[in-house]
Structure 1
């Protein structure tokens, strides 16, 4: 069996000025170049446009960092994406506490605030089977104070985050070892799905 690098099945592209800028941004933000960035280095512009759109949707939806963490963690755990589950589960634990992160990743929303539970449930519904949603599924979001424009933005945000995860997962990208090592025991225990983290630091 062929052994593939931690950044997946593709060869790493030539380091152009655009790729270097992407890598430098990772080092500034995280202290290392993420495995997924070596895949998206095949088109840094596509990565940047995607994340600009995600930022626009987050603003349109009025989403806080905590709420984005809930949406991505719920989406990733439903989709079986270990990379985003570790990354955003860890961020959510730092922002809202281990109990919240663990509940979202385990699909156990009983202890969550109503708005958090509504966001997590909708992200799972969109990810699990978008054709199975009903108008009634939106009621918890409306009860939590989200209007229709925000609900559109939330839904598009989840869908595009899912698309990002699909690219990474399909091309064999393994979560960075640092994400696993930096995550709390609660988050590490909850993320028992998807590709295993890399054996060595990125």
Structure 2
């Protein structure tokens, strides 16, 4: 499930595992990885929650940013997990369009968020003031732009740790995603049944 051994058992590890079982019915592969250092997991999660709140991101906004980040990076784990979620939060067509980078027919806010996440992941040094202006046009002030950019960067770090250390997507993520989402995610690590 990852390149690392099972973490040393203890109360913090059991808390992480119990939370997964309560939320999802199983312990996710990435949780086995992050359980090697629960305080790091907690700090990163806290920062993600904080930046999403500061940016006033809706659950669908978060789904768009995460799917676009995952697609740009080639992260199958988050693409499957959040492609399925975004299908439920918005609709399947939106999730597929963001994962495929086919943004032209999406609402302006969704398109702008997806384009920004893609730019932050692929070539952050190439962004322009006009890109930030586009975020302002869809309703984000400068503090929110900073927060949502930090959110994308944190998600990129999260995905990079997962991918680098071999976390494979859980079969449940593939099975819970709409078939078209599962068929679209052809990059990154494959699901191991």
Task: Give the TM-score normalised by the residue count of structure 1.
Answer: 0.94
Distance in structure 1 (CA, Å) of the matches to 2:192 and 2:58: 30
The superposition leaves residues 152-178 of structure 1 with CA deviations (integer Å, 9 ceiling, x where unpaired) of: 001000000000000000001100000
What residue in structure 1 maps to residue 160 of structure 2? 166
Distance in structure 2 (CA, Å) of the matches to 1:180 and 1:188: 6
When the two structures are aligned, how many residues end up with a matched partner?
A: 193
For residues 20-169 of structure 1, the aligned pairs below 5 Å read: 20-169=14-163
For the aligned residues, what is the CA RMSD? 0.7
The superposition leaves residues 104-163 of structure 1 with CA deviations (integer Å, 9 ceiling, x where unpaired) of: 000011121101110000000000011111111112211101111110001000000000
Distance in structure 1 (CA, Å) of the matches to 2:130 and 2:58: 24
The superposition leaves residues 12-63 of structure 1 with CA deviations (integer Å, 9 ceiling, x where unpaired) of: 1121000000000000111100000001111011101100110000000000
Deviates more, 1:29-38 or 1:129-138: 129-138
Unaligned stretches of 5+ in structure 1? 1-5
Task: Give the TM-score normalised by the residue count of structure 2.
Answer: 0.98
Distance in structure 2 (CA, Å) of the matches to 1:28 and 1:145: 36
